[in-house]
Structure 1
Amino acid sequence: MTQHLFILTGGSRGMGLALARQLLEPGHTLISIARHECPDLQAPAGAGLEQWTLNLADGAHAADQLRGWLAGQPAGRFASAALINNAGVIPPIAPLSASDPRDLAHALRVGLEAPMQLTAAFLGATEDWGVPRRVLNISSGLGRRAMASQAAYCAAKAGMDHFTRCLALDEAAKPHGARVCSLAPGVIDTDMQTQLRSADAADFPDVGNFAQLKEGGLLASPEAAAARVLAWLQRPDFGAQPVADVREG
């Protein structure tokens, strides 16, 4: 069976795990890249699964492994290929002046540097495949709206949005360029939301707003958010907007 290839980062928990589970269907091959393997993630008959335990703080190593794996695939194995850069990190919540430089570096490496490196490896290794290719970067509304005590996360997501805009221009100039989009998935009930709600109000002025999202039932489940994200990935006009929001579709 000809397979459709999906490469996903951060697929071991939260929305990433929900994405991985929904992608594992007959006719799909999934490469899940995360720091930890998920033992209950299993491929059904007709699907393929590889779990790579890699630390995306070393994005160059992950990109090298991805490039080598893609280069080793036989011609015609895959009918399409997609990269979903989902992994991200919120460092300890504090004003920038009180942030540890190592925490800032880690957040930017995982949230911005690694997606750029993986995208470069993916597109370079598949450029001659002659099949449809898509890059979906999971962004955030905080990449487009500033928030106190969130400088690293906001900067990483804003950088993701803008490198996607640049990438769209690169790929549009090619005869068979990839389609790309940086997509905000809405507010989701994940560990990241718990971290935000648990912050000290003295360090995080917006903590009350995040508590209200939970109390008001305004957070999407990881499963529902994943379904909306994958529906966006499959849209015929995917990439028409290099930067988009599922809530505006």
Structure 2
Amino acid sequence: MTPAQHLTIVTGSSRGLGRALAEQLLSPQRVLLCLARRPCDDLAHQAMQAGAHLEQWSQDLTDTAEAAERLARWLHSLHAPGLDSATLINNAGVIPAIGPLNDCPPDELARALRVGLEAPMALTGAFLRATQAWVDAGWQGTRKVLNISSGLGRRAMAGQAPYCAAKAGLDHFSRCTALDEARRPRGARIASLAPGVIDTDMQTQLRAGDPARFPDHARFVGLKTEGLLATPAQAARQVLSHLDRPDFGDPVVADVRD
């Protein structure tokens, strides 16, 4: 590993907010690990130009056990004394078919919950176990877990029960994990952050929904036509600013618009 001061792991890094986060995190002072279904050639080129240490994994997050085991092995292979901090950003998420729960195909329901909730929990567990071993061995760095949540985890919406449930679960597992970490010497800091409304493929998917099955359809169309959507780059800057706050994790559940 090249000399670096910070380690950051980002899931769902091939597009949207995850891609913007990865681009803004590229730095010679950072080891950046990106997990996505497909590696991004443009991101690799940007890393080369910036002299940044980038690793990209092609990883199916529906195989949560394999993803967590792979991350644990990789973390254990690192030279922790060369790092000042370690951060996990759980960003990946998917929206299943838009409509009532009884119309949601079982495979899409399972995928939404695995990618949006089970994978963040499994990866967080692997990250905390591995980095706690560093702490137990005398490492003095800081550890953070940032879960990218949504206002829809805090406000119910018809036609999207799986996505809303995954984000609500993300919020509450963050609260529980923060309580666990607060009991440990040098415990990690945890936050579940709603990043606002962003002009991504997810918004496109919502606008394409059938109004008869999706009562909030007009609202999402209006966000686009009225210019109320942030660009992924704008949202990424706000998210990373929150990550750098000295009071990160207080409160655990937060919103960039607060």
1:97 aligns with 2:102: yes
Q: Per-residue displacement from partner, 1:110-149 (whole Å, max 9, x unpaired)?
A: 0000000000000100113221000000000000000001
SS of aligned partner of 1:171 = helix
Question: Residue type matched to 2:22 in 1?
Answer: A
Higher alpha-carbon deviation: 1-10 or 172-181: 1-10
Q: Per-residue displacement from partner, 1:197-222 (whole Å, max 9, x unpaired)?
A: 01110110100000000011100000
- Is the contact between residue 4 and residue 28 of structure 2 (CA under 8 Å) also seen in structure 1? no
- Is the contact between residue 28 and residue 46 of structure 1 (CA under 8 Å) also seen in structure 2? no
Distance 2:165 2:129 in 1: 26
TM-score when normalising by structure 2: 0.94
Distance 2:170 2:19 in 1: 21
Q: Per-residue displacement from partner, 1:34-54 (whole Å, max 9, x unpaired)?
A: 001100003144421000000
Q: Per-residue displacement from partner, 1:157-182 (whole Å, max 9, x unpaired)?
A: 00000000000000000011000000
Distance 2:40 2:66 in 1: 21
Residue 130 (structure 2) aligns with: 125
Aligned mate of 1:74, from 72, 79, 97: 79
Distance 2:50 2:149 in 1: 32
Q: Per-residue displacement from partner, 1:187-206 (whole Å, max 9, x unpaired)?
A: 00000000000111011010
Runs of at least 5 residues in structure 2 that lack an aligned partner in the other structure: none
- Is the contact between residue 71 and residue 123 of structure 2 (CA under 8 Å) also seen in structure 1? yes
- Is the contact between residue 26 and residue 50 of structure 2 (CA under 8 Å) also seen in structure 1? no
1:54 aligns with 2:59: yes
- Is the contact between residue 149 and residue 204 of structure 1 (CA under 8 Å) also seen in structure 2? yes
Aligned mate of 2:12, from 3, 10, 13: 10
Aligned mate of 2:159, from 149, 154, 167: 149
Residue 30 (structure 1) aligns with: 32
Runs of at least 5 residues in structure 1 that lack an aligned partner in the other structure: none
Aligned mate of 2:223, from 209, 213, 224: 213
Distance 2:67 2:82 in 1: 22
Question: Residue type matched to 2:5 in 1?
Answer: Q
Question: Residue type matched to 1:93 in 2?
Answer: I
Aligned mate of 2:186, from 155, 176, 180: 176
Question: Residue type matched to 1:41 in 2?
Answer: L
Distance 1:145 1:2 in 2: 40
Question: Residue type matched to 1:221 in 2?
Answer: T
TM-score when normalising by structure 1: 0.98
SS of aligned partner of 2:257 = helix
Q: Per-residue displacement from partner, 1:3-44 (whole Å, max 9, x unpaired)?
A: 200000000000110000000012011000000110000314
SS of aligned partner of 1:149 = coil
Question: Residue type matched to 2:73 in 1?
Answer: G
SS of aligned partner of 1:128 = helix
Structure 1 residue 102 displacement after superposition: 1.1
> Cα RMSD between the aligned structures?
0.9
Q: How many residues are paired up?
A: 248
- Is the contact between residue 160 and residue 182 of structure 1 (CA under 8 Å) also seen in structure 2? yes
Residue identity over aligned pairs, in percent, reads 63
Question: Residue type matched to 2:116 in 1?
Answer: G
1:201 aligns with 2:211: yes
Question: Residue type matched to 1:63 in 2?
Answer: A
SS of aligned partner of 2:27 = coil
Aligned mate of 1:232, from 218, 234, 242: 242
Distance 2:16 2:104 in 1: 25
- Is the contact between residue 27 and residue 46 of structure 1 (CA under 8 Å) also seen in structure 2? no
Name the CA shift for 1:223/1:174 in 2 (closer, same or farther; >3 Å).
same
